[in-house]
Amino acid sequence: MDLSAINPLILIASLMVAATPILLAALGELVVEKAGVLNLGVEGMMITGAICGFAVAVETQNPLLGFIGAAIGGALLSLLFGVLTQYLLSNQVATGLALTLFGLGLSAMIGQSYSGVTPPPTSKVDLGALADIPVIGRILLQHDLMVYFSLALVVAVWAFLKFTRAGLILRAVGESHDAAHALGYKVVRVRLLAIMFGGACAGLGGAYLSLIRVPQWTEGMTAGAGWIALAIVVFASWKPMRVLLGAYLFGGVTVLQLNLQAAGLDVPVQVLSMSPYLITILVLVIMSSGKGRASQNAPAALAKSFHASS
């Protein structure tokens, strides 16, 4: 097999683009689940973010405002989920699924007048001469702002959960909401904030699709990316760095298999098509198996409803 037709530098650069939407959505969901809430509405929040960001960017001709709009749109939609599950104590699984259906419908409605419209281009970050550094320059220093933002967010979430007091409270709420409540922490408020953060991240991921990766608005354009993000959170055993690995692995194999085909290599297409799912799951499962604590890393209060009276 001749692999020389594939330029690894370009491949790595484009896998970062392909992985960013899933990475953002998965990071948000990780924080939500760490707070003990299971929000299955990631797909719905992503697609809502995709159209909110697209609409704002087109109306203002400013992609940055578009991303802010996407985050707000995703957060607002997730707030709906938050109110239903935290105040009205509805079932989280059912509400999350409903949120996906609702988001798909809502985005289709908002997006009616936006099909066929071209969004304003998002400029790459200009790093001047740095971008011309061999290898590193091509891989790392010629991206748009959102790629760097998503990477910074991985570090921020990791540090927040590991080193800050607020992160400790969030984890406490996710592990045992009764204990956290007894200590005087506002369980519902913490969870609502986490849910909104998750919604905002999913919204950003969606907008990355509609503003940069495709770039256009099409109904149903997330096509299951939200579910991949959900799966990656579980397989990454709720660790931010592994979420990064999982998202880049998934994005990487997806791009690689398309490139292998484009380069005309004679590998069965069926094998290539399922490889992103297979490889990502395999690697992450192997990493979290064994006797370490990783395999039991799920927040203990995940998907359990909390009410102060119980």
Give me 138's structure tokens.
Answer: 């091509």
DSSP character string of 112-176: GGGTTPPPPPPPBP--GGGGGSTTHHHHHSS-BHHHHHHHHHHHHHHHHHHH-HHHHHHHHHHH-
Among residue numbers 216 through 235, which ones bind another protein (CB under 8 A)? 216, 218-223, 225
Per-residue x/- track, 1-20, another protein (CB under 8 A): ----x-x--xx--x--xx--
In the numeric block, which tokens belong to residue 210? 């509609």
Nearest distance, CB of residue 137 and another protein, angstroms: 17
Residue closer to another protein by CB (options 15, 35) is 15
Among residues 183 and 263, whose Cβ is nearest to another protein? 263
Tokens of 106: 């809502």
Beta-carbon neighbour count of residue 104 at 10 Å?
19
Q: How far is the CB of 253 from another protein (least distance, A)?
A: 12
Residue 218, CA atoms < 13 Å, CB-side half-sphere: 8
Helix (H) or strand (E) holding 309: none
Q: Does 258 bind another protein (CB under 8 A)?
A: yes
Nearer to another protein, 95 or 257 (CB): 257
Q: Does 262 bind another protein (CB under 8 A)?
A: yes
23, 248 Cβ separation under 8 angstroms: yes
Token pair recorded at residue 50: 């995709």
**Residue choice 263, 278, 285, 300 for contact with another protein (CB under 8 A):** 263
Query: Binding pattern to another protein, positions 175-214, x when CB under 8 A?
Result: ----------------------------------x---xx
Token digits for 206?
């969606």
Least gap, CB of 266 to another protein (angstroms): 6
Binding site for another protein (CB under 8 A): 5, 7, 10-11, 14, 17-18, 21, 108, 112, 115-116, 118, 121, 209, 213-216, 218-223, 225, 254-255, 258-259, 261-264, 266, 268-270, 273
